Amino acid sequence: MKSGQFGTLTDEDISLRLAGKMINESVYCLQEKIIDSPVDGDIGAVFGLGFPPFHGGPFRFVDTYGAQKFVSKLEELTSRFGPRFKPAPLLIEKANTNTKFHKE
């Protein structure tokens, strides 16, 4: 845990603050049909943006981490750091319906 200007942050808080925006923007890209599929987004993020490959890409990360849990974290970040962390509507839909981006 780290304490500072923004209060106490866990390592998970710090990681999600750094990666959460990228993951959320990836969901916006799918929602707005900038990319065709979660697979395209995962491949593009890993090979084009340097997203950590052991997470499988932003969409695989959400599927593994849990959309409901991720939306809750983004809402917490929004309350602490502002609207730039507001969850994408498609992400909220996935959380509310308990569905994943990838069909297993």
Tell me the per-residue pLDDT of 78-87, one tens digit each, with 9 for 90 and over.
Answer: 998 899 999 9
How confident is the model at residue 69, as a pLDDT? Answer: 97
Counted domains in the chain: 1
Domain-located, residue 59: yes
Domain-located, residue 2: no
Domain-located, residue 51: yes
Domain-located, residue 32: yes
Is residue 41 within 8 A of residue 58, CB to CB? The reply is yes
Domain-located, residue 102: no
Is residue 67 within 8 A of residue 95, CB to CB? The reply is yes
Residues of the chain with pLDDT under 50: none
Q: State the pTM of this model.
A: 0.87
Structure-block tokens of residue 16: 């999600």
Give the separation between CA 79 and CA 64, rounded to whole angstroms.
24
For 8-22, the pLDDT digits (tens) are 778 888 888 889 999
CATH number at residue 68: 1.10.1040.50
Domain-located, residue 52: yes
Domain-located, residue 23: yes
Domain-located, residue 104: no
> Residue 10 carries which DSSP code?
-
Structural domain harbouring 53: 8-97
How confident is the model at residue 6, as a pLDDT? Answer: 57
Give the separation between CA 70 and CA 80, rounded to whole angstroms.
15
